[in-house]
Amino acid sequence: MSHYSANLRDIEFCLFDLLERDKVMGTSLYSDVDRDTAMGMLEEMKRLCENDLAESFIEGDRLGTVFNKATGDVTVPASFKKSYDAYVDGEWWRLDAPVDLGGMKIPPSVRWAIAEMVLGSNPAVHIYASGYAFAHVAYVLGTPEQKKIAKLMIDHHWGATMQLTEPDAGSDVGAGRSKAVQQEDGTWHITGTKRFITSGDADLYENIVHFVLARREGGGPGTKGLSLFLIPKFMFNHETGELGKRNGIFVTNVEKKMGLNVSSTCEMNLGEHEPAVGYLLGDVHQGIAQMFKVIEFARMMVGTKAIATLSAGYQQALSYAKVRVQGGDMKVMNDKASPRVTIIHHPDVRRSLMVQKSYSEGMRALVLYTASIQDEIELAEQDGDADHLADMIARNDLMLPIVKGYGSEKSWTILGTESLQTFGGSGFTQDWPLEQYVRDAKIDTLYEGTTAIQGLDFFFRKIVKDGGRAIGLLGKEIQKFAESGGAHTQEKAALFTALGNLNGIISVLIAHAMESQEDPEKIYTVGLNTSRCLMAVGDIITAWLLIRQADIAAEKLPNAGKDSDFYTGKIASAQFFVTNFLPQIAADRVIVEATNGSIMDIPESAF
């Protein structure tokens, strides 16, 4: 039996009832994908994920990868390769490839709905298949010659990696020391060491193109001196793709990890024994700006992966709670002769299940809401609507650290404290997939910038640098909804109160940031609370989306028929979330207002 069960009913509800994506489908850029087509694709992906992709999930974890130190090659289990081939042979790669190179244009909202199922059933399949999205970047940003490389990547189904991190630099990308020297033929020779490189090697494809940040000879310090290079594992004929000699980029180690074991996480050496030949992307030294095209995609993917895993964990916990018989009903617990009941009858188990349900449904809406903004970006670009485009880009920039930071942190925490806990001691065994979910999901809080980094980016870049414009527009939209009346007036009033407390938190942090211009140590009081601010914003948006869903459900419920339980559950999720989590934002405000930075004065030896 498959470990994975896709919640396609909720995905459909988010896309078409909450976000009304059918209004943009079948038109303009998306003329080939109407609602029926999209649902057909989603239903087929559900079948693929619950069977072919999920089939190797557990064995991939148990067997992991095999690393040949002599050759620098990595092999994956045959069962995983079969799952990966099912994805590629089904031509799902077309969703990420440029249309000019055989890709299929679909709304990002549908693309990420599909991705949720892939990432929930076997996340390493999606991660290894990222070469098509990388090829898209090379095609958009590359020179005419490099556009040919992108075509070869698509036609020959090559892999790709993103290489930023170095052993000494870590998240401080600007401290990287990898060096690039231009050659007479226009190529570059790159030397250095990269660490924690996802999909650094695998026997899933014949070639891999590494997207590597390096400091060009004469380049200044920090991120501005970095350039982005395409470095293939094997050199190749640029017209036919025929492979040539081995290039000078090698895997020197594969990390032994806590989870996601079938995904190779590699240390890479460039140019130690022979030149690592690379091509400067676009013939311009704009490495960080170019790499952020990849990073933004990766952050969306990581947040979606985390939330997809939480949904899978909830589905497992719910099924278990309905069949596991233990103890008597609490109201007759003193009657030893009373019938034993399934654990879903116990109050604390129900509380735990509602935590999982409300967060998994709310954060699915969060992901697809963000993806719907990406729909609007593409449509505004097509229509030449500069003002709307600028608004949507700012809104998307604001949402990405929330999807990644908030989504990963909440998912990992709930998987461990609620989903696994539902199983009792059984959850700690390998008889059930929860322990693997927990291990696999932890990386999501670390991938592509830790939660702390997301919080700093969110506050300083997405709020302060933006002048509060994007979050102000979103806040006004949420406030308008909170004041709209109609159904769920208590929940909307609670949302309005929580929004006021959030504005108080942001105001305090902005005031401290301004004070730090005169008193530099004031910046510490900001840094102590940027993650707290990020989590509070995430809860506000999740509550807003859940109450919106509840309003729709209440309208549909009288004539719901077989869907009545689904809509009843939607209302229950919103009410539970608002009651149990929005009040915490008031406490967060008190904490932020009381923060004085004294923790920074404690001697290291006192810790």
Each residue's pLDDT tens digit, 57-111: 999 999 999 999 999 999 999 999 999 999 999 999 999 999 999 999 999 999 9
Question: In terms of domains, do 114 and 22 share one?
Answer: yes
Question: In terms of domains, do 166 and 274 share one?
Answer: yes
pLDDT of residue 337: 80
Tell me whether residue 514 is in a domain: yes
Q: Which two tokens stand for residue 402?
A: 């929330």
For residue 271, give the CATH number of its domain.
2.40.110.20
C-alpha 396/C-alpha 331 separation (Å) is 49
SS3 143: coil
The residue segments making up the domain with residue 591 are 455-599
Between 124 and 334, name the one with better pLDDT.
124
DSSP 263: S
Tell me whether residue 411 is in a domain: no
Question: Given a cut of 90, is residue 336 above it in pLDDT?
Answer: no
Q: Which helix (H) or strand (E) holds 228?
A: strand 226-232
Looking at the structure of the chain, the number of domains it has is 3
Q: What's the rounded mean pLDDT across residues 183-194?
A: 96
Q: Which two tokens stand for residue 331?
A: 């109201």
* Alpha-carbon Rg for the chain in angstroms: 25
- The least confident of 40-49, 329-338, 509-518 is 329-338
Q: What confidence tens digit (pLDDT) does each residue in 2-34 have? A: 899 999 999 999 999 999 999 999 999 999 999
Q: What confidence tens digit (pLDDT) does each residue in 482-515 have? A: 999 999 999 999 999 999 999 999 999 999 999 9
Tell me whether residue 464 is in a domain: yes
Question: In terms of domains, do 118 and 198 share one?
Answer: no
Express as a percent the part of the chain with pLDDT over 90.
94
DSSP 76: -
Q: What confidence tens digit (pLDDT) does each residue in 431-489 have? A: 999 999 999 999 999 999 999 999 999 999 999 999 999 999 999 999 999 999 999 99
For residue 69, give the CATH number of its domain.
1.10.540
Among 39, 25, 267, 41, CA closest to 163: 267
Q: Of 285, 304, 326, which residue sits at a domain end? A: 285
What is the identity of the amino acid at 227? S
Question: In terms of domains, do 126 and 165 share one?
Answer: no
Residues written for the chain: 607
How many C-beta atoms lie closer than 10 Å to residue 382's C-beta?
A: 12
Categorize the per-residue pLDDT at 171 as very low, low, confident or very high, splitting at 50, 70 and 90.
Answer: confident
- The least confident of 175-179, 288-292, 356-360, 455-459 is 175-179
Question: In terms of domains, do 113 and 175 share one?
Answer: no
Question: Given a cut of 90, is residue 317 above it in pLDDT?
Answer: yes
DSSP 258: S
pLDDT of residue 445: 98
pLDDT of residue 176: 81
Question: In terms of domains, do 166 and 275 share one?
Answer: yes
Question: Given a cut of 80, is residue 169 above it in pLDDT?
Answer: no
**What average pLDDT does the chain have?**
96
C-alpha 449/C-alpha 373 separation (Å) is 22
pLDDT of residue 129: 98
Question: In terms of domains, do 181 and 227 share one?
Answer: yes
Q: Using an 8 Å Cβ cutoff, are 76 and 60 in contact?
A: yes
Q: What's the rounded mean pLDDT across residues 587-600?
A: 96
pLDDT of residue 173: 73
Q: What's the rounded mean pLDDT across residues 404-420?
A: 98
Question: Given a cut of 80, is residue 333 above it in pLDDT?
Answer: no
C-alpha 370/C-alpha 63 separation (Å) is 36
Q: Of 134, 169, 200, which residue sits at a domain end? A: 134
Q: Using an 8 Å Cβ cutoff, are 66 and 22 in contact?
A: no
pLDDT of residue 480: 98
Is the Cα dihedral 65, 68, 74, 75 positive or negative? negative
C-alpha 440/C-alpha 450 separation (Å) is 15
Question: In terms of domains, do 176 and 249 share one?
Answer: yes
The yes-or-no answer on residue 448 being catalytic is: yes
Question: Given a cut of 90, is residue 207 above it in pLDDT?
Answer: yes
Tell me whether residue 494 is in a domain: yes
pLDDT of residue 222: 85
Question: Given a cut of 90, is residue 1 above it in pLDDT?
Answer: no
Tell me whether residue 86 is in a domain: yes
Tell me whether residue 323 is in a domain: no
Question: In terms of domains, do 95 and 206 share one?
Answer: no
Supply the angle between the helices 131-141 and 287-323 in degrees, to the nearest 10: 150
Question: Given a cut of 80, is residue 334 above it in pLDDT?
Answer: no
C-alpha 114/C-alpha 135 separation (Å) is 20
Q: Of 237, 266, 285, which residue sits at a domain end? A: 285
C-alpha 74/C-alpha 266 separation (Å) is 9
Q: Which two tokens stand for residue 212?
A: 């590597």
Q: Which of 448, 483, 515, 555 is catalytic?
A: 448
Q: What's the rounded mean pLDDT across residues 280-306?
A: 94
Question: In terms of domains, do 199 and 91 share one?
Answer: no
Tell me whether residue 354 is in a domain: no
Question: In terms of domains, do 190 and 79 share one?
Answer: no
Tell me whether residue 298 is in a domain: no
Question: In terms of domains, do 167 and 125 share one?
Answer: no
